[in-house]
Structure 1
Amino acid sequence: MTERSPMGDFGEATLMSPDGARIGRATYRQGPTGVLMQVEVERLTPGWHGMHIHAVGDCSDPAFQSAGGHVSHGDGAHGLLNPGGPEAGDLPNLWVGGDGRGRAEIFTDRVRLAASGPGAPLWDADGSALVIHAQPDDHQSQPIGGAGARVACGIMAAG
């Protein structure tokens, strides 16, 4: 039988660019077996962008290094296609159109908002952050799939 989390927890993140401009929003809701996320961005370079949940809820420096590495909690190597992975924070790439806008809806069973249940906890003592990278994630290369610089960051907080 699959372990289930209590449903209903909800959160959001305001996505900021390195210069501090608001460029998007992410919302997320706890489901019985994982978290459903919706992401909307603007003013990004057209094309694919790597997107990950990072282990620390801190976007205070312009390079967003304060968000730490991906949420992993020992789940494996980086990459949705890596035989040793994925890490809990690995997500599919985000597509951004020619107008600089992107939208995605993603479900992951590797994280949780709820205090108990399956997946790595996002609302732990130091929180978590959603980070978008400049390049696509190849879902195999270590440590970040070749996704490059961090171009957007949002602290994942309770809504």
Structure 2
Amino acid sequence: ALKTADGSDAGMVTGFEGPMGMIFRVEGKGWPAGWHATHLHAVGSCEAPAFTSAGGHVNHAEGARPHGLLNKAGGPDLGDLQNIHAAADGSANADVYLAWAGLDAHEPDYIDANGLSFVVHASPDDYVSQPIGGAGARIACGVFEPVG
């Protein structure tokens, strides 16, 4: 479940593993209208108010990469996801794709003993600027929990 800094419900993110990557189904609610960056963060912790406990983007693999889905100088980092648009009523629904990712033991770069979190930012990601594409403050956060 996604939560805001004041503990309000901000929706749900569900991960689905496929043969070539992951799809994250985002069902947001109560988001400010407009575009928002989304990223995977390296620690499964979402302590309010700023969610800094989630750490930085997942990028702790050997040969860590710079931020940015459009960064032609070695990007993207392993936590980079697509922007999501929230409607005027605060709803935000999208399927976000991350290639070559899995959330189990064969993909240790994505989830480890520290867990994994999904963070929604106040502004859109420009997909190039360092360190987070101008995404701004963290406005919602959720920790992934294994199912089954």
* TM-score, normalization by structure 1: 0.86
Counterpart CA distance in 1 for 2:100 and 2:59 is 9
What's 2:93 paired with? 103
RMSD: 1.3
Counterpart CA distance in 1 for 2:134 and 2:110 is 26
1:3-152 matched pairs, under 5 angstroms? 14-73=1-60, 74-83=63-72, 84-116=74-106, 120-122=109-111, 124-152=112-140
SS in structure 2 at match of 1:105: strand
Structure 1 unmatched ranges of 5 or more: 1-13
SS in structure 1 at match of 2:53: helix
Contact 2:20 2:101 in 1 (8 A): no
Contact 1:15 1:153 in 2 (8 A): yes
What's 1:155 paired with? 143
SS in structure 2 at match of 1:121: coil
Show structure 1 runs of 4+ deviating over 3 A. Answer: none
Counterpart CA distance in 1 for 2:77 and 2:125 is 13
Q: After superposition, what is the alpha-carbon deviation per residue over 1:92-146, rounded to whole angstroms, capped at 9, x for unaligned?
A: 00110111110110221243212115x7232x10001000000000000000100
Structure 2 unmatched ranges of 5 or more: none
What is the identity percentage for the equivalent residue pairs of Structure 1 and Structure 2?
Answer: 48
Q: After superposition, what is the alpha-carbon deviation per residue over 1:64-104, rounded to whole angstroms, capped at 9, x for unaligned?
A: 00000000124411000001200111000011011111011
SS in structure 2 at match of 1:111: coil
Counterpart CA distance in 2 for 1:112 and 1:135 is 27
* TM-score, normalization by structure 2: 0.92
